Amino acid sequence: MSTQLTWQEVVAATSDDTEAVAAALAARLADGAVVVLRGDLGAGKTVFARGLARAFGITEPVTSPTFTLVQEYRRPAGGWFFHLDLYRIGAEADAAAFGIEEFLFNPHAVTAIEWPERIPDLLGEPLTCDADGRLRGVVPVLLIPLPAGGRRIRLPATSHE
């Protein structure tokens, strides 16, 4: 049985819905995965990251690390969840200067990155899906605010053949 990667779009009417979508994705992430969260300001990237954290059992407050660049959370079941916000990063050299390499594709962590377009050349690992449905490499998530409220979320889905 092989696993083929497909895409799905979900409409999340509330922040709770967004966190639930993130939690479903978290259950499929292998350690070393890097979730790249794309969307305009206010699209729900931090809400999605909070949903990942909650799914990993993290109960402490999850806020955007805009000024600190990275928040590190220990997962109760072992390993780490890293949440990076690169909004204030001007170039990949700036990211390298603060040691971003230790957070990318870490075999003991899942990483979520807001504003990943700041470091395109550092995100070269392709998205793959194991036969058991676990996602590895760069996992893209696109969040688009809807005029009536809520957001549309585009993310990987899997189907087994």
Does domain 3-160 match CATH 3.40.50.300? Answer: yes
Pairing outcome for strands 34-38 and 109-114: parallel
List, for residues 14-47, the tens digit of each pLDDT value.
999 999 999 999 999 999 999 999 999 999 999 9
The residue whose two tokens read 């969840």 is 81
Distance, CA of 8 to CA of 117 (rounded, Å):
22
Domain ranges of the chain: 3-160
CA angle 139, 72, 62 (to 5 degrees): 80
Instruction: Give the amino acid at 110.
Output: V
Q: Which residues of the chain have pLDDT under 50?
A: 1-2, 160-161
The residue whose two tokens read 């009536």 is 148
pTM of the model: 0.93
So what's the pLDDT on residue 1? 40
So what's the pLDDT on residue 161? 44
